[in-house]
Amino acid sequence: TSLFANVEQAPRDPILGLNEQFNADARTTKVNLGVGVYFNDEGRIPLLKAVRNAEVARLEAASARGYLPIDGITGYNQAVQKLLFTESSPLIAEKRLVTAQALGGTGALKIGADYLKRLLPNAKVAISDPSWENHRALFENAGFEVVNYSYYNAATHGIDPEGMLASLNSYPAGTIVVLHACCHNPTGVDLSAEQWAKVVDVIKARGLVPFLDIAYQGFGDGIDADAFAVRQFAASGLSFLVSSSFSKSFSLYGERVGALTIVTANSDETGKVLSQLKRVIRTNYSNPPTHGGTVVATILNTPTLRLEWEDELAEMRDRIRAMRTALVEKLKARGVQRDFSFVLAQRGMFSYSGLTSAQVDALREKHGVYAIGTGRICVAALNNQNIDAVVDAIADVLK
Ligand code: PMP
């Protein structure tokens, strides 16, 4: 018999499955709010001008494509550290940071998970309930048992702060806690400054291991405001990990640009941890690709490009927030009784809309408006052309 005769069909990715269904839908009025991608007001994935300019410069330089170091481009890694912690951070001066360029945020989580498995083979990993759908699978694949900590309160469309602290307080020392640093995916609901302070305290008191995932820096309130949690942990003196993704903030999804940063206690640890992390990378994919990292490093390290990028990032952020406002106001103007103002308090690309799975089905079947069964919609896929149709559809399924 064939080697693969008994292989079972793996379940298909629910979000990609929804995309396939969307593509096959013949209705011209269809709207896809199921995706996790930022679209501009014309409904297209933007190619940022800063990216274009950095790419032109790279082409003109006609540089050879040798292997990068295992941990990637030095100027890139340093720029990542400044973006996370600011240029004047004592962590940089004290050489307490290990940063490795990674294959997107997912790649950063993966090398972080593999490294932690060597360091803490018996630890459990706690992720938020709910979380980005790949967190659980990724850490399970790295060999960890994954549990959920309380996070979202559907009744208030907000955080369940007591539940979250109770979960964290129940874990043994050494438990790895994955935290969304900003723009929580899928809910859009972030912790307040006071809530972060309490979370940091509990994590410190219980000896837990924070792993911050920052995939939307600059999409919430701004580059620095969105790094608030990262900087709170830095100020706490704890050792922790951070996975950065630039897929959204540079609109470079397919180039796979991200980074893993590990905060150590001192420069001696830094050297040793880097040497171990390099072993993990070497045995996974040897070294990262050149293009995306070069483009991002060029932008971050060239003042004119940097300003151009910050403007374009602000434009994306402002457009998402304008769509949140428009959605809430138009639903109200349309006579929808339910109060959707919680959507304004959410941050980033997503919103847990509060729509039930039956309502999501009706949106899709009757109106060609595609959302995730949990009620998650991508606000960054709304635009001035499709928002009225979406509002009408929501109003109809809520009748
Ligand atoms: N973490 C979170 C919270 C995400 O939402 C995503 C994907 N959008 C990622 C990580 C992965 O990012 P990337 O596409 O850069 O791998």
Question: ∠ at Cα 139 (175, 100), nearest 5°?
Answer: 90
pTM of the model: 0.97
Contact 97, 267 (CB under 8 A): no
**Other C-beta atoms lying within 10 Å of the C-beta of residue 78:** 17
Q: 107 CA to middle of ligand 1, Å?
A: 9
Using CA atoms, how far residue 255 sits from 62, 105, 235, 317, in Å, is 19, 11, 32, 21
| Nearest atom in ligand 1 to 245's CA | 15
Mean pLDDT, the chain, whole residue set: 97
Q: 336 CA to middle of ligand 1, Å?
A: 33
Q: 35 CA to middle of ligand 1, Å?
A: 12
pLDDT for 348 beyond 90:
yes
Quick check: is 213 catalytic?
yes
Best of 38, 151, 247, 255 for a ligand 1 pocket test (most atoms within 8 Å of beta carbon)? 247
Give percent above pLDDT 90 in the chain. Answer: 98
Contact 375, 352 (CB under 8 A): yes
Residues with CB under 6 A from ligand 1: 36, 104-106, 132, 180, 185, 213, 215, 245, 247, 258
Q: State the pLDDT confidence band at 12, using cuts at 50, 70 and 90.
A: confident
CA distance 151 to 187: 10
What pLDDT is stored for residue 219 in this prediction? 98
Would you give the DSSP letter of residue 11?
Answer: P
Q: 36 CA to middle of ligand 1, Å?
A: 9
186 preceded by a cis bond (ω within 30 of 0): yes
Contact 31, 368 (CB under 8 A): yes
Question: ∠ at Cα 256 (176, 223), nearest 5°?
Answer: 70
Q: State the pLDDT confidence band at 17, using cuts at 50, 70 and 90.
A: confident
pLDDT for 329 beyond 90:
yes
| Nearest atom in ligand 1 to 107's CA | 16
| Nearest atom in ligand 1 to 258's CA | 15
With residue 94 as reference, give the H or E element that holds it: none
Does the predicted interface ipTM exceed a cut of 0.95? yes
CA distance 226 to 231: 10
- Which of 248, 278, 309, 330 is catalytic? The answer is 248
CA distance 299 to 304: 8
Q: Closest residue (by CA) to atom 7 of ligand 1?
A: 215
Average pLDDT for 218-224: 98
What pLDDT is stored for residue 13 in this prediction? 82
What pLDDT is stored for residue 277 in this prediction? 98
pLDDT for 65 beyond 90:
yes
- Which of 110, 213, 278, 309 is catalytic? The answer is 213
Q: State the pLDDT confidence band at 159, using cuts at 50, 70 and 90.
A: very high
Q: Closest residue (by CA) to atom 9 of ligand 1?
A: 105
- Which of 71, 110, 117, 132 is catalytic? The answer is 132
What pLDDT is stored for residue 11 in this prediction? 86
Average pLDDT for 353-372: 97
CA distance 298 to 305: 8
